[in-house]
């Protein structure tokens, strides 16, 4: 049976391929975007898990919008205005997919930071949207290029990860946040603010979300995969109610609703008095690992490599002298270290040569050993 034409456009995830290749036990993987499973708040989840069997209604069909007590809690937590609404999704990846399906016709434009999250490019490719890359600078997207794109190409959406961007780790400055919001309003482009890493700040002060400067011109994706558990597959989309309603309609056909016991488990966690403290502990752990990695990466400077400092998130972006980053990442696998090459984070355009290094799922010793192997590879290739 022939697959649909739209499927031909969809790249298979290089990350998954590289993760599969990285099954060698001697391999050190900085490739995935995995949280350290030792951070999972199992102790805080225990009381809710132990009570699951007492609420039989959790095992019945539930509302498409989400488990009502969780929806209520999140509405308050995010202080959504009266005319806004939220939808609980099967991970924030589903939120992204639902938005693309509900809003993008073939050929509709979506502006994206370049480089950008591979999973978002896949989703927009699949609905045959036209991806419009905007170069990511040190403070966020190139504002002049963004305005030119908005004016000339009239995209429907601007997909962005303003806090600890995947893959570059960039955190947009306050001025950039305000400027982007202003442009979205001026050119009637919907901001799609994806914020999975936002709670993982380990230095400096949190900046307001970009959508807070254009709340009626934005959809927001939030994830609990980085601060609670990815296995639960619970994310949230929020925004103006009339933009959420079509997503609910599409979700109904996509999976009826998300797993209800998982939503109850998440609610128990969010209500747990120690959850805030748990997030702080996770940030501390990742901060320490980040410092070890950044320090170690200094030894690569003689090879023309440059690590970009970050204030949170899960990734460091290591720029390389101009090269075929894909070929270099493959060579690195042979040397026992898995990374993700910059090529996979660009759509059609040629990007910078770089590697994305994850620091949340390896111990300090492993991080140091990985960088030694990187140095070795740079010296010998």
Q: Which of 86, 104, 181, 220 binds a copy of itself (CB under 8 A)?
A: 104
Q: What number of chain residues touch a copy of itself (CB under 8 A)?
A: 73
Identify which of residues 347 and 353 has a Cβ nearer to a copy of itself in the complex: 347
Q: Does 68 sit near a copy of itself (CB under 8 A)?
A: no
- The answer to whether 171 and 132 have CB atoms below 8 angstroms apart is no
Closest Cα to residue 57, out of 68, 65, 46?
Answer: 68
Q: Which of 5, 205, 273, 350 binds a copy of itself (CB under 8 A)?
A: 5
Q: How far is the CB of 359 from a copy of itself (least distance, A)?
A: 17
CA separation for the pair 141, 150 (Å, rounded): 13
Q: How far is the CB of 246 from a copy of itself (least distance, A)?
A: 5
- The answer to whether 129 and 106 have CB atoms below 8 angstroms apart is yes
Q: How far is the CB of 16 from a copy of itself (least distance, A)?
A: 7
- The answer to whether 200 and 36 have CB atoms below 8 angstroms apart is no
| Binding track, positions 185-224, relative to a copy of itself; x by CB under 8 A | -----x----------------------------------
CA 325 vs. chain centroid, Å, equals 22
133 token code pair: 């890359």
Q: Which stretch binds a copy of itself (CB under 8 A): 22-30, 103-111, 271-279, 373-381?
A: 103-111
Range list of H helices, the chain: 14-21, 42-51, 68-77, 92-103, 118-126, 143-153, 174-186, 241-255, 260-271, 275-297, 325-334, 364-380
Closest Cα to residue 300, out of 235, 360, 357?
Answer: 357
Identify which of residues 266 and 283 has a Cβ nearer to a copy of itself in the complex: 266
Q: Which of 61, 76, 205, 380 binds a copy of itself (CB under 8 A)?
A: 61
Work out the number of other CB atoms within 10 angstroms of the CB of residue 54: 7
Q: Which of 21, 137, 143, 254 binds a copy of itself (CB under 8 A)?
A: 254
Helix (H) or strand (E) segment spanning residue 191: strand 190-194
Q: How far is the CB of 284 from a copy of itself (least distance, A)?
A: 20
Binders of a copy of itself in range 6-25 (CB under 8 A) = 6-7, 10, 12-13, 16
What does the buried/exposed string (b/e) look like for 5-34 if buried means 16 or more CB atoms within 10 Å of the residue's CB? eeeeeeeeebbeebbeebeeeebbbbbbbb
| Binding track, positions 139-178, relative to a copy of itself; x by CB under 8 A | -----------------x----------------------
Q: Does 259 sit near a copy of itself (CB under 8 A)?
A: yes
Identify which of residues 158 and 328 has a Cβ nearer to a copy of itself in the complex: 158
Q: How far is the CB of 308 from a copy of itself (least distance, A)?
A: 25
SS3 for 380? helix
What does the buried/exposed string (b/e) look like for 247-268 if buried means 16 or more CB atoms within 10 Å of the residue's CB? bbebbeebeebbbbbbbbbbbb
Binders of a copy of itself in range 107-146 (CB under 8 A) = 108, 119, 122-123, 126-127
Q: Does 62 sit near a copy of itself (CB under 8 A)?
A: yes
Greatest distance between any 2 Cα atoms in the chain = 62
Q: Which of 81, 231, 288, 309 binds a copy of itself (CB under 8 A)?
A: 231
Question: Would you put residue 337 in left (φ > 0), alpha (ψ -120 to 50) or beta?
Answer: beta
Q: Tell whether the torsion through CA atoms of 193, 198, 204 and 207 is positive or negative.
A: positive
Binders of a copy of itself in range 31-50 (CB under 8 A) = 32, 34-35, 37-38, 40, 42, 45-46, 49-50
Report which DSSP code applies to 201: B
Q: Which stretch binds a copy of itself (CB under 8 A): 53-61, 320-328, 362-370, 371-379?
A: 53-61
CA separation for the pair 213, 191 (Å, rounded): 11
Q: Which of 249, 281, 330, 381 binds a copy of itself (CB under 8 A)?
A: 249
Binders of a copy of itself in range 73-102 (CB under 8 A) = 89-91, 93-94, 97, 101-102
Q: Which of 18, 28, 30, 58 binds a copy of itself (CB under 8 A)?
A: 58
Identify which of residues 213 and 243 has a Cβ nearer to a copy of itself in the complex: 243
């Amino acid at each position: 049976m022939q697959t649909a034409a739209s499927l031909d456009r969809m790249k298979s995830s290089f990350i998954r391929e590289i993760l599969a290749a990285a099954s060698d036990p001697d391999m050190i993987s900085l490739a995935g975007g995995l949280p350290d499973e030792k951070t999972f708040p199992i102790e805080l989840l225990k009381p809710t898990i132990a009570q699951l069997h007492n609420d039989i209604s959790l095992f019945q069909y539930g509302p498409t919008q989400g488990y009502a007590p969780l929806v209520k809690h999140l509405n308050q937590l995010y202080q959504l205005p009266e005319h806004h609404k939220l939808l609980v999704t099967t991970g924030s990846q589903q939120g992204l997919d639902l938005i693309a399906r509900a809003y993008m016709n073939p050929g509709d434009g979506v502006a994206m930071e370049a480089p950008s999250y591979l999973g978002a490019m896949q989703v927009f490719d699949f609905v045959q949207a036209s991806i419009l890359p905007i170069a990511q600078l040190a403070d966020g997207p190139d504002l002049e290029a963004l305005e030119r794109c908005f004016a000339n190409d009239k995209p429907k959406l601007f997909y962005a990860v303003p806090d600890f961007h995947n893959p570059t780790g960039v955190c947009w400055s306050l001025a950039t946040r305000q400027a982007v919001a202003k442009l979205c309003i001026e050119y009637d482009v919907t901001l799609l603010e994806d914020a999975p890493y936002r709670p993982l700040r380990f230095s400096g002060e949190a900046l307001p979300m970009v959508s807070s400067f254009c709340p009626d011109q934005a959809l927001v994706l939030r994830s609990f995969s980085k601060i609670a558990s990815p296995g639960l597959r619970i994310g949230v989309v929020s925004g103006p109610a009339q933009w959420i309603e079509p997503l609910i309609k599409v979700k109904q056909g996509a999976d009826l609703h998300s797993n209800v016991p998982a939503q109850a488990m998440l609610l128990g966690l969010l209500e747990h008095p120690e959850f805030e403290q748990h997030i702080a502990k996770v940030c501390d752990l990742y901060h320490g690992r980040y410092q070890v990695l950044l320090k170690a990466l200094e030894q690569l400077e003689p090879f023309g490599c440059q690590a970009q400092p970050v204030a949170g998130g899960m990734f460091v972006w290591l720029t390389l002298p101009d090269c075929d980053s894909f070929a270099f990442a493959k060579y690195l696998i042979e040397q026992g270290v898995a990374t993700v090459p910059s090529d996979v984070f660009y759509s059609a355009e040629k990007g910078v040569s770089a590697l994305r290094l994850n620091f949340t799922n390896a111990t300090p010793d492993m991080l140091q050993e990985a960088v030694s192997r990187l140095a070795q590879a740079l010296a010998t290739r």
